[in-house]
Amino acid sequence: MTLRFQHAGFNGHVGVARADITPPVGIYARNWGAAKHDAATGIHRPLNLTALVIKETPDGAPLVLVDADLGWWRSLKLERRFRAGVIERFKLDAARYIFALTHTHAGPLLTDHVELHWQGGELIEPYFQHLEETTHRVIAEALKAVQPAVIEWNIGRCQLATERDLADPAKPDQRRICGFNPTAKADDTLLVGRVSGADGKLLAVIANYACHPTTLAWDNKLISPDYVGAMRETIERDCPGAVALFLQGASGDLAPRMQYVGDTSVADGHGRQLGHAVLATLAGMEPSGQRLKFDGAMESGAPLAIWNREPAQYFSTLGAINPSIELPLKDWPTADEFEAQRKAANDRVLEERFRRKRDIRRGLGDGKSYPLPIWLWRIGDAVLVANMCEAYSSIQQHLREQFPDSPLLYLNLANGSVGYLPPQNRYDEDVYQSWQTPFDKGSLERLETGIAAELKKWTAK
């Protein structure tokens, strides 16, 4: 038996393209209930949109993954219309298209419900039209740029993310507040993908990491990708010619230790921390397309194992399915009742809470359950799992434990935005994520069980 070691990978064809999607200064960008301002007064860093196209062969059906420096969808109806336009334009299988949000909290609103009193609200509709046009253009460019390439994966670690369910020091037995909990351990898994052309030239770097981009909050008045911007800059400075993609993981309970500030240098520091962790993970990989082969023992002062490099052999298999998993909903008021509560609210924070619940209810309908769509991709040895919720990190940890032979990317906020998925025990406590979500107790566990069952059926074929 010959011993070999190689990174999990994929050998096929890949295209990548990027565009700037920074909105105009003055656009309505109020993402925090505590904010005293409505409109953005400047730009911290540009927002980017990147398309990655993956094919088995030059003429094969593509997987299309879009990474966008945007926050969350306020309207599922708007997201469905947006996604349908891309699918129709490029004649895509719906299972093979994912529009993933980095989840910045310092960007424009993705909404079709603009209120007359919003300062800068008149800029939202034309910006969204620009976003649609740009998305179509960038996907077309990525399809045109497809070339022979390999994608190779490595697992790293980064301590940027911390657990953010903190027992309120003033009321420790009554509620948890959303912020750094120094007594809990956070999931620090960083999954890095290296995309290289046939000549070994680096085309793209993929970082899948779970951490809320909530560094910048109510005091910040600038458009910003939060820490993701400096992360991209750090990686791309060290990897000339490559583009960096960020895929937000299961971060429902994870955020930076220092957050909720107006100081953009804090966000930049966070981004550099993650960017250097990505670069360290890349540095720990074998050269593109290479693996290690055991070539025997050399007798010296000790018997020494000799390993040499040889060409790696990767699968070219792609696959995509789009099943749904039925999740129970809480016995919430209707969307019209939430709207009435919003109009009657006597402060901006309370009004914003009712507005968000109204928008969620409009998207899910008034039923007792909701068939939550999920996206499952096979990319050679790797598996990608995506959903539109903000799941807690336990789901990605458990799934990776159940499928240890495949690098498993987990994406929150993909193809929609529709609330948190906390674990069962959090429903027995006063926690924001538990009372914000429309999904009832046990939904995270149902989703995890359903995804695992789908993966087992799929990978057994």
| 330 burial level (CB within 10 Å; 0-12, 13-18, 19+) | middle
437 part of a folded domain: no
For residue 158, being part of any structural domain is answered with: yes
Q: Mind listing the pLDDT tens digit for each residue in 306-345? A: 999 999 999 999 999 999 999 999 987 777 777 788 888 7
**Per-residue pLDDT tens digits for 336-370:** 777 788 888 777 777 777 777 787 777 787 788 99
Does some domain include residue 253? yes
Mean pLDDT of 104-126: 94
Whole-angstrom distance, CA of residue 148 vs CA of residue 126: 37
Q: What is the DSSP letter of 187?
A: P
Query: Average model confidence (pLDDT) for the chain?
Result: 94
- 228 within domain boundaries: yes
Quick one: pLDDT at residue 33?
A: 85
Q: What is the DSSP string of 272-317?
A: HHHHHHHHHHHHTSPSTTEEEEEEEEEESSSEEEEEEEEE---B--
Q: Is residue 365 part of a domain?
A: no
Predicted confidence (pLDDT) at residue 460 exceeds the cutoff of 70: no
Q: How confident is the model at residue 81 (pLDDT cuts 50, 70, 90)?
A: very high
Q: Which of 33, 31, 74 is nearest to 221 (CA)?
A: 31
- How many domains is the chain partitioned into structurally? 1
Bridge partner residues of 154 (DSSP): 192
Residue 461 has pLDDT above 80, yes or no: no
Is 441 a residue whose pLDDT tops 80?
yes
* pLDDT of amino acid 15: 98
**Is 299 among the domain residues?**
no
- CA separation (Å) from 181 to 38, 225, 378, 401? 30, 24, 35, 25
Q: How does pLDDT run across 252-263, given as a tens digit for each residue?
A: 999 999 999 999
Tell me, what amino acid is at 8? A
Domain-embedded: residue 47: yes
Is residue 245 one of the residues assigned to a domain? Answer: yes
Residue range(s) defining the domain that contains residue 279: 4-287
* pLDDT tens digits along 362-410: 778 778 899 999 999 999 999 999 999 999 999 999 999 999 999 999 9
β-pairing, 189-197 with 147-157? antiparallel
